[in-house]
Every structure is written in C-alpha cells, then in structure tokens.
Structure 1
Amino acid sequence: MRIGFIGTGVITEAIVTGLISSDFPVTEIILSERSHAKSARLAAADKRVRVTGSNQQIVDEADLVFLAVRPQIAEQVIRPLNFRAGQDVASLIATVTFESLLDWIGADVKITRSIPLPAVATRRGVTAIYPADDQLESFYDALGSVVVAQSLDEFDAYAAASALMGLYFGVMETASDWLCGQGTSPQNAQSYLTKIFLELSRKADRAPEIDFARLRDHHSTPGGLNQQMFEDFSESGGTQALTRALENVAKRVRDARNP
C-alpha cells in the first residue's frame, strides 16, 4: 500500500514516525515537501519515505491520502487537486466538515475523519475515527488503539475531549508550583508527579472493566486525604468548571460543523 500525506506538520510527523517502526504493510510513504525540515528528517529515517513538491503527485500515486493541512489554508490547498472517484481520503483537519471536503474535492471519494494524537509516534496513541472503516482501523491499530465513533456527535465529543491535553499539563504545572512553594525542587516535583499520574493511568489501562468512579473510590480511604482532596476540588467548583470547559470546546467544534 502507498500512503500519501498532504501537509507535513506535527501530527503527520508523529504518524509517520510510528508507522515506519510498525509492521503495517506500507510499501511507500509520500510526503509533501512542506515542512521541509520534517519531511527531510522522515525521508532520512526510512527508505520507504519519499518527498515531493507536488501535492497532485501525492493524490495520483497514493492509495490512501491523508489531508493534514491547517484549516485556514485547507480549501486553497485541496480545491485545485484532482482526486479519483472512489479514492480513500482520510482527513485530519479539525473542524472541517465532510460537506466542505466533498465540495472542495469535487469527486466521489470515500472520506473518513480521524483525530490522531501525538502518542502515535511511539505506537501508544488512541485515535478516534468516523465513520467506521476497516482499512483505517487496521492502520491506527498499528499505531496504538482505535475508537470508532458511531455518530458525528460522538466524534465531535472525542475532538473536544482531546483538548484536555493542555489542561492535564496545566494541572501538573499548578501542583508542581505548589510543591516548589513548599521547598521542593522543580526537578523533584516534576518527577514525583509524573510517576504518580503515570502509574494511575497504567492502573486504569490494565483494568478497563473498572470505571473511573470505582477507581476513585479504590484510591480514596473513607475520611482520608484522597477523599478530602476530591471533595474540596468538587465543592470549590472544580468538576463544574471542567464540565463547562468541555461543553464550551464542544460547542466550538459543533459550531464549526453548523456555521
């Protein structure tokens, strides 16, 4: 299989990095020249990677084409290209709808949308896709795991939830600053918090049959410090603030779908 990427940004680099270390049956990976530094680095990493300055060449030669350009320039990049009827196209462009993509492409192609996250570079990412597609599921399985949305609303919800990455590190930053205020060095604070959260995630990953509420109970002795921490956080409006932030991000995603 030949795979092409129109747009070589951070996520394309992560996907290709994970792909070339996997056993997914790809014979060639065709990258657009931009960004030059990233495409050159990936071409040097694996002989199956080829860089071209022609986006049309990518469309002509790839069996599966990934659209990975910024939303602001997506139309001007995609509209001039000539796609084949029935061609497999995977859009990584946040907030751009199926309807817009089909209008710009101007051919009866098969479009899927997906939300790969940076961890695909180490083949530990989870990727939401819509609609279901066996080929794309197999592709992302090679880069970690896949969640198949059953509706566009569900897919948009995953898009909103993926915005928690910045919040996660913001929470870690806040806790680290507090620890430093108590006399801890920044290095020790970061190491300590990283290990705590890493093992908590591993616990949840190893026991998917246990939901988060039960995991919280398992880690909270009645009347203990963990229970107090969550209760103080919740009573101070923390859980409401998180829900409100998710709703606001989700509204932005939905509004882009229904301008």
Structure 2
Amino acid sequence: MRRIGIIGVGEIGRAIVLGLRHGGDTSTEVFLSPRGARTAAELAEHHAGVRVCASNQEVVDRAELVIIAVRRPDRHEALAGLRVPGDRIVVNVMAGVGHDDLRRTLGTDAPLVRAIPLPAIRERRCVTVVHPAHPEVNSLFERLGGVLPVADEAAFTVFSALTGTLTTHYAYLAALTAWAADHGIAADDAERYVRDLFQGVGRALHDQTRSLRQLAADHETPGGSNERVRTTWFDAANAAALTTVLDDLLAELR
C-alpha cells in the first residue's frame, strides 16, 4: 500500500506515522487530516513524504487506505459528509465503534477493518489485533510490529477491553515509586530503580517459550518475598475485582 491517509492525528495517529517512518523508511506516502493540527504539522515538518491535507475529504481522495483515528465521541462531527469510494480500504481504530456503526456513518461499501494499534508501533514493537483479516491491512501492521487477526467482533472486543489495563500498569509502578519515597528514598532514585526493574520484566516477556504463569513461577522462591506479595496483595478478592471491571468494560464496548 503506497498511499495511507490518517484522519485524527492524536497519540495513535502519531505512533502510526512514526512506525511507518521507523528506520528511515519512506516507501509510503502519508496524508494527514487537519484534526490534531499541531501534531500533524510537526510530523510533516520532520518526515519526508508526510503531508497535511486541507480537509478530511482530501485525505480520502489522496489515499488508498484510510485510517480513522478520531475519538469515539467526535466521530459523527469528524466524518459528517465524508465521501468514501468503494475502492478505498478503511481501517477503524476507534474503540467501541463497530462495523455497523461506522458503515452507517460513512454510507460506503468500502471494506472496513477494525484494528487496535498501540503506541509501541512507533518502534515496530507491538502486535496489532485486526478484524476481519484483510491482506493489505495485515501487511501494513505486520510491517509495524506484527498482526493478530481474530475471527469475529466478539473476540476483537475482548482484546479491546484488555487494552484498558495499560495505564493501570503505569499507575502501579508510580505507586511503588511513591511508597519507596515515603520511606526515605530519593524520588529520582526510586523511579530509576522501578523503571529498570520492570524493563527487565519486559525483556523476559520476549521469551515465548515460557507461559506467563511459568515466568511468574520462575521468578519467585517458595516462601520468598515475591510469593508473599503475590499471595497477600493479589489475592482472590483483588482478582475478582479485576474480573468485574473487565467484564463491565467488555459489556460497554459491545
């Protein structure tokens, strides 16, 4: 796919552009909507072959594949009156907006594909879930770190709910840092140590020969500190609370 358009240049739109240009790759022309004007202008200034269009319609007219990355509440305003020919491919990265909803909004017969690109695609380091599989879309996200096609929208929505846990992980690390600071450790030192500690966890996750449960077992000693924290803090009640909030989020996304 040689010409890609992005409508809505927020964090994910920016990550897609950076992923496309990672390593100096300029094989794809990128057309950006004027939404998120400051970010779009910055990307166009610093990356060859990235252009800001005068309107969302111009993005569609110039691109072969159009990524819609506006916020869910803004979609009707952003997409109103947009004419999308049937020979375009539309990739929908808006959480909680299904195929039927978007097709009604756009009034197009163009192929629609849902996707969950995450910020790490800027470095081509994260798999992207898509539904349905489409050769051009699969190829795009394979290039940006990997693609995971799923069978139906129900499965897709489960993966979408999982992404809702991302900032909780950051908040957990911030809580650990704050706890150490409360016990007399300099805040910068505490944060440096916590970052390095969990970057090691991230590196261990690349070892796909071991399941997540096996990785946990391999990092703790019976009766040791890790087992103590896991069994006393992440207990049955906390596990049930996590299940409940994920179930509620899943119901909302459906």
Aligned-pair identity (%):
30
Conservation of the 8 A alpha-carbon contact between 2:20 and 2:26? no
Q: Determine the structure 2 residue equivalent to 1:112.
A: 113
1:147 to partner: Cα distance:
2.0
1:76 to partner: Cα distance:
2.8
CA deviations 1:182-204 (Å, max 9, x no partner) are 21111111111111111112112
Q: Determine the structure 1 residue equivalent to 2:234.
A: 234
1:78 aligns with 2:67: no
Q: Residues 102 and 235 (structure 1 numbering): CA distance in 2 closer, same or farther, change over 3 Å? A: closer
Provide the rounded CA distance (Å) in 2 between the counterparts of 1:59 and 1:234: 48
1:105 to partner: Cα distance:
1.6
- The farther-off stretch of 133-142 and 219-228 is 133-142
Q: Secondary structure at the match of 1:189?
A: helix
Unaligned runs of 5+ in 2: none
Unaligned runs of 5+ in 1: 255-259
Q: Using structure 2 for the length normalisation, give the TM-score.
A: 0.93
Provide the rounded CA distance (Å) in 1 between the counterparts of 2:233 and 2:26: 48
Provide the rounded CA distance (Å) in 2 between the counterparts of 1:62 and 1:3: 5
Q: Residues 142 and 24 (structure 1 numbering): CA distance in 2 closer, same or farther, change over 3 Å? A: farther
Amino acid at match of 1:172: L
Q: Determine the structure 1 residue equivalent to 2:13.
A: 12
Provide the rounded CA distance (Å) in 2 between the counterparts of 1:115 and 1:175: 29
Q: Determine the structure 2 residue equivalent to 1:257.
A: none
Q: Using structure 1 for the length normalisation, give the TM-score.
A: 0.92
Conservation of the 8 A alpha-carbon contact between 2:26 and 2:49? no
Conservation of the 8 A alpha-carbon contact between 1:22 and 1:142? no
Amino acid at match of 1:95: G
Tell me the C-alpha RMSD between the 2 structures.
1.7
Q: Secondary structure at the match of 2:151?
A: coil
1:236 to partner: Cα distance:
6.5
Q: Secondary structure at the match of 1:113?
A: strand
Q: Secondary structure at the match of 1:34?
A: coil
CA deviations 1:109-151 (Å, max 9, x no partner) are 1000111111112222232111112221221122222222222
